[in-house]
Structure 1
Amino acid sequence: MKIEQKTINTIRMLAAEAVQQANSGHPGLPLGSAPMAYTLWANMAHNPKNPKWENRDRFILSAGHGSALLYSLLHVFNYGLTVEDLKNFRQEGSLTPGHPEYGHTAGVEATTGPLGQGIAMAVGMAMAERHLAAEFNKEGYPVVDHYTYTLVGDGCLMEGISYEAAALAGTLKLGKLIVLYDSNNITIEGNTDIAFKEDVRARFEAQGFETFFVEDGNDVEAILKALEAAKANLDKPSFIEIKTQIGYGCPKKQGKAAAHGEPLGVDNLAEMRAFLAHHEEAFFVEEEVKAHIANLNNQGEAKEEAWNKLFAQYAKMYPELAKKWDAWHAKEEINLDMYEKYTDVSKKMATRIASFEVINQMADRVDNMIGGSADLAPSTKTYMNGKGDFSSEDYTGRNLHFGIREHAMGAIANGIALHGGLKTFCSTFFVFSDYMKNPMRLAALMGLPVTYVLTHDSIGVGEDGPTHQPIEQLAMLRSTPNLVTFRPADAKETVAAWEYALNSKTEPVAIVLSRQDLPFLEKTGEEAKKGAYVVGDISPEDADILLMATGSEVHLVTEAAKALMVEGVKAAAISMASIDVFEKQSKEYKESILPSHKVKRIAIEAASSFGWHKYTGFEGKVIALDTFGESAPAGLIFKKKGFTVENVINEAKSILNV
């Protein structure tokens, strides 16, 4: 048996044994895809001794349920996963969780759970590679010169996000993106013909990919030939359909849905060992296989050493670019110094306009920031003036045009952040954040500092009506662990939100902004980065009642507090710019803002009341929206729904019985 086949069979057996040991998992994809995965990894530019080498090829297992394949590869290729790690597959605290988790296991490039997210993140990584190559490469010095590979299954390609991401990849001619399609015609419910009969290659051709077909998924030579041809075409992304048998090597289950998502069973494993002529000992890797992999890894190490020498010469030839490279890969503190610009309390400005001004000042100072919107830059105010448009004609452009593709946009932003070297943001109307829920959740799970600019934040959208007026979305974002949400009250708080986002290391940040003008407030400012703070003249400790608000409602509580003071009522006005950040503060600070013995409280927000009762308690009141909005001028709706100074005053008096 050839050493290549022995190695492939070893990868197959390790994956099947891990699933059997756990009595849980998906052996079908690893068994069918092992030949393509091995062929790719044997020829990729990667170095297990340095999994974070900047110019490595990226591999994303989009079909993340087949994680046992990735863990077997990481073990065989000596990325640090041990036999014990494989035996602890899917167990508490292990390095081999049910789906790959970025930052948890060395060599895992992305957390891929929901199908289709991986291919979209791969598009983001390929976009990052193109931008960095355009910025840094010089003739004779291709310091950014790597490929992005993703392995997808039928499930990934049924999900709509894959259509969105592939369409953009084709439009942008991302020639270093290569998609390997594990085409086995089987999903959980059986043959894909029950729901999926499209010509997939024709679809990708229509989207601008060069396509290839490998008839036999066990034919390593044919797979390698397709890979080499795909790599040679730098004018188009590539799609390689490889026909496989799910569960290959398990005679009684191969080609059947039963191989997809359940252990094969002890007897079937025994038959599989015989079929593959594999060693009888479980989790066994022959010395011959180890030596073969060591040779491959030496080649990978040599590739990095050659790159290191190239970069050292590059640094001598282009010292300013080398200095910029280091800066782009560092994480330095960023302060925008813009608060004084917005101190004239006679002025008003929509926070989306304030954000636009921040973005354009930031664009000059943070030159590795790229971002854009889902065809909404004129409305979300996210265009970076003079920074060019990222396109197949000019990859140096920093304005990204995602098209009307929110699902893919969020995942592509994750891919850009995962790649390294760049900061990124994406933008849409707040109500459409629903379309980005999966990638936003994954960004939070991975600890990626992606910034989301979400505008038209309330019933202030007005005439567009309830379909465009977000009600429950703030509660959705705030309930997501490790996702920070800011709803600024004015321009100064918008600056604070952006500074927080720019300096975030491990949290994605959503900045939720108004369409309508909001007044500049006297006491707002950098303290918004604490999440909540006093924006009136009365301290919480001295107050008869606490008035809390976010965003467009903060000016209501500041004005109500002043009016109540005239009537002898002491009201503390508090901006809750970010509940998530406030919850991170010390007990002492939180007690200073919301003293526990001050039980007379009102919270006001033009969104769902969900979550606010934690702060208002039994004796408090929440003025909020627990119905959808309506199509009418914004001012009329705000008044109708009780978002007025007069209503805040009346509710305060009612609580205080005055």
Structure 2
Amino acid sequence: DNTLLRFEASNWQVLSVDGHNMDAISKALEEAQASKTRPTLIACRTTIGYGAPTKSGTSAVHGSPLGSAEVLLAKKFLEWEHSPFEIPSNVLEAWRGFGDRGSIDYASWQKRFKASEKSVQDSFINQFESLTAEEVVPVTSRLVSQFKQDLPDIATRQSSGLVLDKLVESFPQLLGGSADLTGSNNTKAHTSKPITPDNGSGNYVYYGVREHAMAAMMNGLCLHGGFRPFGGTFLVFSDYCRPAIRLSALMQQPVVYVMTHDSIGLGEDGPTHQPIEHLASLRSIPNLYVFRPADAVEVAECWEIALLKKDAPSLLALTRQKLPLLRREEGLKNLSQRGAYVIHNHVKPRIILIATGSEVSLALKIAEKLDDNKISSRVISMPCTALFDQQDQGYKDELLGKNLTGPVLRVSIEAASSYGWERYVGQEGLALGIDHFGASAPFEEIYRRFGLDIESITTKILNTLKGQ
């Protein structure tokens, strides 16, 4: 397609120059800076390997050295008389001049800032400094307290929406959005105001069906400073965001990705929309924290953790289907902050069930079934494997029962690929998941068909115990 015409159609100023002509580039930059009403795209036409007489314009210069003979010819063409790794004094002075100019500009800015009204200074600091525990925890703690008192069965995407209502109301740094799935992702808070062509003062972006663009723009917002962006789409569409998600992690930018419809639990939309391999692949990205909360309390806890991250992105995988409230214990301690914790326990468990998200409530029901069979069990909720992996070895061994005497069967349950769960259940354990594509049916029926129901899992566990 004609990329330049696409930008022109969006009312950009488009300038085309010879990418090897420094004067033309400088002139285009001046013209771009003069434009005050619209952005500018400068398209530089270049030749790969410019100056190499026999290899320029070919793939030979893309991934291989030019070779000494070609280098000599290229230096002659470019009139470059300097030795390898020698920096000409005028170039060095120019670069150092840029650094000095930046220092002068920064000192001038600091002087103006200190001379401004205290209210202006406070407003700027509140906007641009990272959110602190002293600010975030009181908000999330109040929500947790309310949830524990009285909350009906609710999808975690909906409880995330309730959390966002309070967070957006409390923190002007938050800038939300969705890739054309606002109503499904529950990312638009009651106080959110959309950014429009006529009004740029809002705090919510309708990105359209542009998942990659959304993720890339959120990276830019983070890098600019003063914003804590979050954006939503379906978990299966994380594939479209993947390059930008990876860059969030690589650049240590605390973007929050809100990914709903996180499993076969979304039901009738079928295998094209049901994530299978996505959780495992996203968890493999270094410095990305993937959260899969089990109920509204864990949702609030995971949002708290995500907002307090200063150097890493977070991804919340949330359900379409309703889930029961599991956490009604007294106290407001954030149990999710260590990545995993015991939600149901027996002093000497024969079975340790490890589950995430919607499968935690399933694991608790299986524990009841095992109890009916006189088999003791422990249930672990593991909302974030990355956080759990960072805990000290003693905590991990205690949780997984590695310090218990007697045999212990570890069983993981997640409505997704079982890849990676052997790290926690061991070679002798059971990693129960879905290692094939989904199906179109009501979610209860799909869970039964794929063997992720109480009876099927209990039977597998009992049969495994008989064989030991």
Deviations 1:356-384 (A, max 9, x none): 01111111222201121101010010002
Deviations 1:304-339 (A, max 9, x none): 3433333334x23xx223212223332322312121
Partner Cα separation in structure 2 for residue 536 and residue 406 of structure 1: 39
Of 70, 83, 89, which aligns to 1:268? 70
Alignment partner of 1:464: what SS? coil
Partner Cα separation in structure 2 for residue 473 and residue 299 of structure 1: 46
2:449 alignment counterpart:
640
Alignment partner of 1:392: what SS? coil
Find out whether 1:526 has 2:341 as its counterpart.
no
1:59 alignment counterpart:
none
Partner Cα separation in structure 2 for residue 345 and residue 538 of structure 1: 27
2:3 alignment counterpart:
200
Distance 1:347 1:657, change over 3 A: farther
Q: CA RMSD in A?
A: 2.3
Amino acid at match of 2:291: F
Alignment of 1:230-379 (within 5 A): 230-295=32-97, 297-313=99-115, 315-316=116-117, 319-331=118-130, 332-333=132-133, 334-335=136-137, 336-337=140-141, 338-344=143-149, 347-379=152-184
Distance 1:591 1:289, change over 3 A: closer
Amino acid at match of 1:203: R
1:463 alignment counterpart:
268
Shift of 1:530: 1.2
Alignment partner of 2:344: what SS? coil
Conserved? CA contact 1:490–1:519, under 8 Å? yes
Partner Cα separation in structure 2 for residue 346 and residue 243 of structure 1: 60
Of 392, 399, 420, which aligns to 1:611? 420
Find out whether 1:585 has 2:384 as its counterpart.
no
Amino acid at match of 2:213: A
Shift of 1:559: 2.0
Partner Cα separation in structure 1 for residue 431 and residue 372 of structure 2: 24
Of 152, 173, 195, which aligns to 1:390? 195
Distance 1:255 1:599, change over 3 A: same
Distance 1:342 1:538, change over 3 A: farther
Deviations 1:562-589 (A, max 9, x none): 3332442211111111112111111111
2:223 alignment counterpart:
418
Distance 1:490 1:253, change over 3 A: same
Distance 1:258 1:576, change over 3 A: same
Find out whether 1:565 has 2:371 as its counterpart.
yes
Amino acid at match of 1:382: T
Find out whether 1:428 has 2:233 as its counterpart.
yes
Conserved? CA contact 1:345–1:521, under 8 Å? no
Find out whether 1:538 has 2:346 as its counterpart.
yes
Deviations 1:596-655 (A, max 9, x none): 255312221111111122222343223211221111111111222222223333333323
Conserved? CA contact 1:447–1:508, under 8 Å? yes
Q: Compute the TM-score of the two structures, normalised by the length of structure 1.
A: 0.65
Deviations 1:148-186 (A, max 9, x none): xxxxxxxxxxxxxxxxxxxxxxxxxxxxxxxxxxxxxxx
Conserved? CA contact 1:599–1:619, under 8 Å? no
Conserved? CA contact 2:173–2:227, under 8 Å? yes
1:19 alignment counterpart:
none
2:461 alignment counterpart:
652
Alignment partner of 2:229: what SS? strand
Conserved? CA contact 1:356–1:382, under 8 Å? yes
**Identical aligned residues as a percent:** 38
5+ residue gaps, structure 2:
none
2:205 alignment counterpart:
400
2:303 alignment counterpart:
498
Amino acid at match of 1:245: T
Deviations 1:5-33 (A, max 9, x none): xxxxxxxxxxxxxxxxxxxxxxxxxxxxx
5+ residue gaps, structure 1:
1-197
Alignment partner of 2:37: what SS? coil
Conserved? CA contact 2:350–2:408, under 8 Å? no
Partner Cα separation in structure 2 for residue 517 and residue 448 of structure 1: 32
Deviations 1:451-484 (A, max 9, x none): 1111111111111111111111111111222211
Distance 1:298 1:629, change over 3 A: closer
Alignment partner of 1:463: what SS? coil
Q: Compute the TM-score of the two structures, normalised by the length of structure 2.
A: 0.90
Shift of 1:291: 4.0
Shift of 1:434: 1.3
